Chains A and B, each alone.
Chain A
Amino acid sequence: EAGVTQFPSHSVIEKGQTVTLRCDPISGHDNLYWYRRVMGKEIKFLLHFVKESKQDESGMPNNRFLAERTGGTYSTLKVQPAELEDSGVYFCASSQDLTGVEAFFGQGTRLTVV
């Protein structure tokens, strides 16, 4: 069984550009989460989808971040325009149940904004 897959693994972009991160959850997992780790800080929750609906987006830092989950399958996280402070590792996780006690994480996308 395939795990959670994230694309790309690394991305280096200039300030002001747009970047789209993609996450493919484990098949059949209705719950999908995005987290971010800024260098030197803790991993922080961004948002939670249940199928195609946003259950909780309280962690999204500002309106430059847009997350979507088309048809309740894969999800994208777009940053537009990117700022230097957006640099970090973006993790995606999926789980079958709402409690997330069996959440499986992807390898992360390392985003560097220069």
Chain B
Amino acid sequence: AQSVTQLDSQVPVFEEAPVELRCNYSSSVSVYLFWYVQYPNQGLQLLLKYLSGSTLVKGINGFEAEFNKSQTSFHLRKPSVHISDTAEYFCAVSSWGGGSNYKLTFGKGTLLTVNP
């Protein structure tokens, strides 16, 4: 079984401030890791993903995330946020092996609110 914990349900920040959204996961098999974003009244959009290779992954809109296997974390960061980054962010994991079949397991989401 796999699980995802997003430690903060809400993160308020001021415009141009840096932000880190935390995500920890657990899985007994190999994983792929994802961050999705849902802007108001829109569907889920893939921000970035980690499949293998370099542990630092860059995504769209200036976001990046770092895979830390020893800490089972995949925190999302952006050095300077904009008002338009206000959205709900979801960390997700999929795994294979041991009977798993790539289905996504999501965290509960973190609502990022960027204030002027």
Q: Do A and B come from one complex?
A: yes
Q: Write the residues of chain A forming the contact surface with B, with a CB cutoff of 8 angstroms.
A: 3-4, 33, 35, 40-45, 48, 55-56, 59, 91, 93, 98-108
- B-side interface mostly: strand
With beta carbons under 8 angstroms apart, the residue of B41, B43, B49, B96 that contacts A106 is: B43
> Are B32 and A42 interface neighbours, CB within 8 A?
no
On whether A101 and B32 interact (CB within 8 A), knowing A91-B43, A91-B44, the answer reads yes
Encode contact with A along B1-29: 1 for CB under 8 Å, 0 otherwise. 00010000000000000000000000000
Which residues in A have their C-beta under 8 angstroms from that of B108?
A: 40-42
For residue B67, CB closer than 8 A to chain A, the reply is: no
Interface extent on B, as a size class?
20 to 34
Q: Write the residues of chain B forming the contact surface with A, with a CB cutoff of 8 angstroms.
A: 4, 32, 36, 41-46, 49, 51, 90, 92, 94, 96, 101-109
> Are A55 and B104 interface neighbours, CB within 8 A?
no
With beta carbons under 8 angstroms apart, the residue of B44, B49, B101, B109 that contacts A101 is: B49
Task: Among B32, B104, B106, B107, find the residue whose CB has the most chain A CB atoms closer than 10 A.
Answer: B104
Inter-chain residue pair count (beta carbon < 8 A): 60
Which residues in B have their C-beta under 8 angstroms from that of A100?
A: 94, 102-104
> Are B45 and A105 interface neighbours, CB within 8 A?
yes
B99 to chain A, nearest CB (A): 10
19 pairs, CB–CB < 8 Å, chain A vs chain B: A4-B43, A35-B104, A41-B108, A42-B107, A42-B108, A44-B106, A45-B104, A45-B105, A48-B101, A55-B101, A91-B43, A99-B102, A100-B94, A101-B32, A101-B102, A105-B43, A105-B44, A107-B42, A108-B43
Which residues in B have their C-beta under 8 angstroms from that of A93?
A: 44
> Are B43 and A42 interface neighbours, CB within 8 A?
no
With beta carbons under 8 angstroms apart, the residue of A99, A105, A107, A108 that contacts B36 is: A105
> Are A99 and B106 interface neighbours, CB within 8 A?
no
9 closest pairs, A vs B, by CB? A105-B44, A107-B43, A43-B106, A45-B103, A42-B108, A100-B102, A105-B43, A42-B106, A99-B102
